Amino acid sequence: MKDLKYETLALEQPAEHLLIVRFNRPEVRNAISTQVGRDMLDLFSRFQAPTDIRCIVLTGTGDKAFCAGGDLKERHGMTDAQWLAQHAIFERMTLAILDCPIPVIAAVNGAAFGGGCELALTCDFVYASTAARFALTEITLGIMPGGGGTQFLPRAVGARRAKEIILTGKPFSAQDALEWGMVNKLCAPEKLMEETLATAQTICDNAPISVRQAKRSIHFGAHMDVRSALFFEVDAYNKMVGTEDRHEGVRAFNEKRKPKFKGK
């Protein structure tokens, strides 16, 4: 991953199995251009193949914005066909993040509006700066959320709250997001990355096959009836019984030491 270069993203690997992905367009508040969509799609599609990365942190460059949403300057003057072609890239980007087998944590360091808010919601969970602001403003622009907002937000905060947020387009605070269940934890701005990376490293230290299978079970099981979900969970569980990591975990427990998981 260290050798990958993108026009609109900055990658950093602070530890062996941990990757930071930054939207890197601070001059436009990290807005989502067509190239951002292409870069994100390329990057997250790579995680379908075997990788040493065990956790990803998604954040924005600078202290003003996580991501301000779609780049409306780029979109100004687009034909309907061009708009739809661009949005098709964004749709594939969203699905690539959603389908990523590796945990993805959003570290929301500033404004997360429109598509930026949707991208945070697409991640597995969210840590946010106390200075962060959120909004789904698409209604005020003559469109509607089209990057998962009408699906992910109700699942996070409930349908009634989601309707209020989406149908008014009004911004809300990080404290609101925490109280409503959209954000897992608030951090002082200067501590956001430190605290997010600490959680990410804890995930990296756990057995990677177990982490991926647990994420998969939660993700798909949430859309099944309970009985079907339990069978799905057991199927995911059984795939770990014969792994080296399962043997290492039990051995380390009995030897009173920290396990060394290899993802095998």
Q: Indicate the pTM of the whole model.
A: 0.96
Instruction: Express each pLDDT in 16-51 by its tens digit.
Output: 999 999 999 999 999 999 999 999 999 999 999 999
- What are the residues facing 58 on neighbouring strands? 21, 106
* Whether residue 168 has pLDDT greater than 80: yes
> Quick one: pLDDT at residue 2?
67
Segment 132-146, tens digit of pLDDT: 999 999 999 999 999
Q: What is the pLDDT of residues 62-110, one digit of tens each?
A: 989 999 999 999 999 999 999 999 999 999 999 999 999 999 999 999 9
Q: At what angle do helices 80-98 and 34-45 cross, to 10 degrees?
A: 30
Confidence class of residue 3 from pLDDT cuts 50, 70 and 90?
Answer: confident
Taken in order of first residue, the domains within the chain and their CATH numbers are 9-204 (3.90.226.10), 206-254 (1.10.12.10)
pLDDT in tens, 224-253: 999 999 999 999 999 999 999 999 999 999
Which pLDDT score, from 0 to 100, does residue 11 have? 97
Q: Residues 42-63: pLDDT tens digits?
A: 999 999 999 999 999 999 999 8
Show the 3-state SS of 79-135.
CHHHHHHHHHHHHHHHHHHHCCCCCEEEEECCEEECHHHHHHHHCCEEEEECCCEEE
Phi and psi based region of residue 102 (left: phi greater than 0; alpha: psi -120 to 50; beta: remaining) = beta
CA count, 13 A, side-chain hemisphere, 258: 4
CA distances (Å), origin 245, targets 174, 200, 238, 248: 38, 19, 13, 5
